[in-house]
Amino acid sequence: MRMIDPDGFRPNVGIVLARDDGCVFWARRAGQDGWQFPQGGMNTDETPLEAMYRELTEETGLGPHHVRVLGSTPGWLRYRLPRRFRRRHQKPMCVGQKQVWFLLQFLADDSEFRLDCVENPEFDCYRWVDFWYPVKHVIPFKRRVYARALKHLEPMLPTQARVESD
């Protein structure tokens, strides 16, 4: 079951999946023009790490053996949803998301991706982009939280990837 905190924020996890060259997984939302990192809400019985692995599998088809956790943000990063995206009939009303972001090292080959492993796939295609590319190309209301997450996670990239992305 999904939850919303007393302030109206839904607990959520975000996933930055990085290759050794520092490029990150960037996916297009199914049937839309919007691109984003994998992310998703936490269930009431999950830790952020458990939710991250579940979302990773649901959205990319990858399992824990395909990645290595390099780090995460300490505590929650929040963003508010624009009013037009809020579901007014939902009680309690969700005003935004609070997220723990994870940086994962991709250990597999692209052939391991299965974007269609669930009944209603989140993404219909993906590409690898420069580490900072998503900040300028995600939907505007998520840009600040993306910048904060990447700023915190970038020092956790392997040294080779940090040098190449400078």
| pLDDT of residue 150 exceeding 90 | yes
**Domains of the chain: which residue ranges?**
9-161
Main-chain dihedrals φ then ψ at residue 156, nearest 5 degrees: -85, -10
- Predicted confidence at residue 84, as pLDDT, reads 65
Neighbours of 129 (CB within 10 A): 14
| pLDDT of residue 135 exceeding 70 | yes
The CATH number, out of the four listed (3.40.50.1860, 3.40.1030.10, 2.60.120.330, 3.90.79.10), of the domain defined by the range 9-161:
3.90.79.10
Mean pLDDT, the chain, rounded, equals: 91
Lowest average pLDDT, out of 43-57, 76-90, 96-110, 139-153, goes to 76-90
pLDDT digits (tens, 9 = 90+) for 25-54: 999 999 999 999 999 999 999 999 999 999
- The half-sphere exposure of 5 on its side-chain side, counting CA atoms within 13 A, is 13
How far apart, in whole angstroms, are the C-alpha atoms of residue 146 and residue 16? 10
How far apart, in whole angstroms, are the C-alpha atoms of residue 35 and residue 90? 26
Of 88 and 93, more confident: 93
Mean pLDDT of 86-93: 64
Mean pLDDT of 136-147: 95
